[in-house]
Amino acid sequence: MKSTLFLLTFVCLLVTNAELWSQRSFLDLLNGYETWDNHAIAPTPDQGFLIANDLKFPPQDWEKHGFYISKYDSCGVISWARAYGSPDFALYFTDLKELSGGDVVAMGQTGFDDLFLMRINAGGEVVSMLTFDTSNGDQNYNVDVHDGKIMVFGSYYAENGAHNYLLMINETGQINWAKSYHRRRGSGAATFSSDGNTICVNGNLIYLVDEAGNLVWSRELSQLSAEDANISRPVESGNGYVLAVRNPESEAQYLFKLDQTGEVEWQSEQVPSGFLASSIDRLSDGNLVMVNALPLEAESNYGGAPFMIECSPDGEILAQFSFDLGDIGRFTAPICRTGDQRSVTVMGSYYDQGNYDYVIRLKPGEALSCAGYDYTDRLPEKVPMDIQTVMGTATNLSFTSTDTVTVDVLDLDLFAEHVCETEVDQATLEYEARIQCTDTLHFQPPLENATYLWEDGSTVSNRILQAPGQYFLQATTCRTEFDISIDLQQGLCPCNYYIPNAFSPNSDGVNDVFQAYATCEFRSYELQIFNRWGELLYQSSIPEQGWDGHSRGQVVSQGVYTYSLRYSWEVTPGVIQDKLQVGTVALIR
């Protein structure tokens, strides 16, 4: 019988308290195709992400306006890039959002002022294409997804002017409901909250809509005109909503939080910025991150490098980070999306004889090899906020949809110029696990998205290891190399036993004797039987000799009796383990 247990220990080169993050940090310039400023980012289930933007010029032989989507893998390498368009009309892209199953939806307007919703799978193939129409001037600000519902926020033209709308669709494209709200005041954005409500921004107006489309409350930032209001897409944080807004007098950005009733809970210090609107998101640890661009250099085509600030959930600025990008170009319009382990992806535009995209992937506080640095530049004065209640109504709105649009897809040769990236470094993973009673171990890879090299040249990740023995391998991720030592040692293994809870000593050859059965060889053995008054009725030191229901030559009556089993076994050569087991057994006549 095998009676072994093994201890698995990983020993690596360098001890670190930081969380392991297998992805590469980098800054890429995508200078192959000119674009506009409609950037979007969507994470993918494999720890990669998608980026998207409007193309400034139709590619190749296309006559109509289109957009592109590109997939970055978990190591920050472009897997594919494709352009999407239609021969029927222009497609003006606005937003991209991930669905629960790994597909994404791309949203925008057509050249006929309708809305389009394109569903795309993980490989970049078009799954479906729908258009929606309610007026002669339908526009889309953004799209969001929650619990199988797709929310589209934008504006449409009515007889009394342009108004905001919310359009709720399920993931198959069927319309659940659509409603009209306040007059259009300017640009806007909306976000689902975890309870299914929607928080909307329209110019200097912020309002909350419940799951059924009813208007809950509306608040106006009266210190700002509708034209001067540059408010970010809201982000849910705790029991409220955080937004970034520009102070036009100081040309700076600050964050503020509204509670669930629309009252101001806090506001942060101001940070000088060069771009009108900021983008914010919530990190995996609950902190907040905001991105914008530094003020442009006077009379220069260069400057406006992107910056990032990290705030606590109560609005305290914890750190500021920026990038010294020299004379690469003029940087504008950054947006951000957060990922696992405090990671952030930033996308924006830079101008260098044309408007192109850039992508940054990093963790706050992590300096890239050529670009990242800490800086401090903030205005401690708080901006007086004047929040006023505004009345409004929600009215039903009718949209029609079609699925007859032709979509063209074209592979793009999207070249990424790596301005800087982190070097592969060394780190430590310490891992322990106890493996019960076997002489083999099924090795499971401890790191996602890693390649493995064993000392015998094998590159498989899952492997059956024989014990006892030592094994060595290297695990390499996008950013870290690990030297792993696996030491399989013999250790303690329990002796599994079985004791019946009843027996019937009636000489029929079935369950006539009460005794213990074990998977190990007993080194010592003592079985005792007691009646309910504690009187010893039976005792044996021979495992094969069980109790037949007699005591001192007399038949014992039917009933419940107590047993005590004390035994020992050899766990490893020369090492003995003792155990005592007490229980009851029913004697049935």
Domain boundaries, the chain: 5-14+427-491, 223-385, 497-587
pLDDT tens for each residue of the chain, 589 residues long: 333 333 344 343 333 333 455 567 888 999 889 999 999 999 998 888 999 999 999 888 888 999 999 999 888 889 999 999 999 999 999 999 999 889 999 999 998 889 999 999 999 999 999 999 999 999 999 999 999 999 999 999 998 899 999 999 999 999 999 999 999 998 899 999 999 999 999 999 999 999 999 999 999 999 998 888 899 999 999 999 999 999 988 889 999 999 999 999 999 999 999 888 899 999 999 999 999 998 876 655 556 888 999 999 999 999 998 887 767 888 888 999 998 888 899 999 998 888 999 999 888 766 565 666 788 899 988 989 999 999 999 999 999 999 989 999 999 999 899 887 766 666 666 555 555 555 677 787 777 678 899 999 999 988 888 777 788 888 887 777 888 888 776 655 667 788 999 999 988 889 999 999 888 888 999 999 999 898 999 999 999 989 999 999 999 999 999 999 999 988 766 778 888 999 999 999 8
**Between 3.40.190.10, 2.120.10.10, 3.50.50.60, 3.40.109.10, what CATH number should domain 223-385 receive?**
2.120.10.10
Length of the chain counted residue by residue: 589
pTM for the full predicted model: 0.76
Secondary structure tally for the chain: helices H, strands E: 0, 53
Q: What is the CATH number of domain 497-587?
A: 2.60.40
Q: Do the domains 497-587 and 223-385 match in fold? A: no
β-sheet bridge partners, residue 417? 29
HSE-CB for 100 with a 13 A CA cutoff: 9
Structure tokens at 320: 């500021």
CA torsion, ordered 146, 181, 245, 390, to nearest 10 deg: -130
Q: What is the DSSP string of 499-529?
A: --SEE--SSSSSS-SB--EESS-EEEEEEEE
Do 254 and 269 touch, CB atoms closer than 8 A? Answer: yes
